Amino acid sequence: MKPSVRQALREGEQLGLRYSLLMPQTTASGATGSRLGRRTGSSIDFQDYRDYEPGDDLRFIDWGVYARTDRLTIKLFREEVTPHLDLILDGSRSMGLEESAKPEAAAKLGALLATAAANVQCTHAVWLSGEGFHRLANDSHPPSTWDGLGFDSVRNLDQSLDLLGPRLRRLGVRVLISDLLWPAQPIHTIRRLREGAAALFVIQLLGRDDVTPPEQGSLRLIDSETGETTELYVDAGVSRQYRDGLARLQQSWDDTCRQCGAHLTTLIAEELESSLARLESMQLVAPA
């Protein structure tokens, strides 16, 4: 792991201490834990009554009601769950582009979210794409202890999902951090990530060079993931077409996210700290 990424993890961890992960009520689901779940459970918080059915735990029969009404009635309590955050990091080479702040920004953002989740007793797991998805070493520990965070995969996120998808916890909060720059239908990716999730947040992390095309001149462009090259002369028209293409791509991802109930925001890696407010506005984190 690059020292700069390691340093970014430490900075993200420090930064995350200021935030708390916002857990939507609809998302309270998971193993027995310290937070009330959406479903009935074994907590002490009364939720409802219902008629006894064979097989119900006899300990929850409300004998007082039976005495008054001669009907077996079961008391329902809310379940207690431990919420979970699945951080899905795009580990493709496009995220680790040299002369770009994207790898450090991705690490910092991941660390921030993981720390914000820990601040609200929320477990987390970090999934990194590559030859399929795999969890980072020590990902359940504080971010400064994470290991193996590298952005060197030649496969894009969609291909990694096809190879080996992440085992995402059901009804957990999922956050995808990626530049979303690969040629595929966004619906394919979003549906798979959104399925079974309480909420899906997609953070498009772009470098400044991704947003601003190069100045006028002849360029031999090399795809960071495929190594494919193309040569062209960049002029005002080309720049305009590039910006239009990027806008269309973002619009297609945004439309797909809306369609699937996910939330999308775009951050510029070089301006990460100044744009964290967007995370608050999309109801992902809140000041601690």
Partner 1 sequence: MFPFFVYPLALLALAALPVLAAIYLFRHRFRRRTVSSLLLWRFQMPSREGGAKIQRIQLPLLFFLELLALLCLVMAASGPQWRQPGAGRPLIVVLDDSFSMRAVYEAVSARDRALEYLERHFRRQPPPSVRLVLAGSQPRLAGAPVRTWSELARQLVGWTCHAPQAALEAALTLASELGNQQANILILTDHPPVDERMAGDRLRWHAFGQPSANLAIVNASRVSHAEQDRCLLEIANYAATPQLARVTVQAGSNTLQTSSLTLAPNERQRLVFEIPGRAPLLEAALEPDALGEDNTVQLLPPIRPRVRVQVAITNAAMHELLSRTLEVTGLRAALSVDPELVIHQASGAVHGTNAWDLRWVLPSAEEGVAFTGPFVIDTSHPLTEGLALEGMVWTAATNLALSPGTVPVITAGNIPLVLAREDALGRRHLTLNLDPGLSTLHNTPGWPILFWNLLRWRATEQPGLSERNFRLGAEVELRTAGQPATVTRPDGVVVQFVETSDRLSLETPLPGHYLVSLGTATNAFVVNPLAADESALTGCATGRWGGWKDEEAQRRQLASAVWIFGLAALAIMVVHLVLLAPRAKGSR
Q: At its nearest, how many Å lie between partner 1 and the CB of residue 102?
A: 8
**Between 25 and 230, whose beta carbon lies closer to partner 1?**
230
Q: Min. distance of Cβ 183 from partner 1 in angstroms?
A: 5
Q: Dig out the tokens for 86 from the structure.
A: 């699945």
Which of residues 74 and 157 has its CB atom nearest to partner 1 in the complex? Answer: 157
Binding positions for partner 1, rule: CB under 8 A: 94-95, 97-98, 100, 102, 179, 181-183, 206-207, 209-210, 214, 216-226, 228, 230-238, 241-242, 245-246, 249
Q: Return the number of the residue (44 or 236) whose C-beta is nearest partner 1.
A: 236
CB closer to partner 1, 117 vs 202: 202
Minimum separation from the CB atom of position 204 to partner 1 (A):
11
Our CB check for partner 1 shows the closer of 137 and 234 to be 234
DSSP string, 44-103: EEEEEEEE--TTS-GGGB-HHHHHHHS--EEEEEEEEE--EEEEEE--BGGGG-TTSSHH
Report in angstroms how near the CB of residue 97 gets to partner 1 at its nearest.
Answer: 6
Q: Which of residues 195 and 255 has its CB atom nearest to partner 1 in the complex? A: 255
The pair phi, psi for residue 49, each rounded to 5°, is -115, 155
Structure tokens at 175: 């956050």
Q: Which helix (H) or strand (E) holds 239?
A: helix 236-260
How many whole angstroms separate alpha carbon 168 and alpha carbon 85?
A: 9
260 Cβ contact partners less than 8 Å away, ≥ 6 residues apart: 187, 190, 191, 194, 200
Q: How far apart, in Å, are the Cα atoms of 85 and each of 43, 67, 183?
A: 22, 45, 27
Min separation Cβ 206 and partner 1, Å? 8
CB of 223 to partner 1, least distance (A): 4
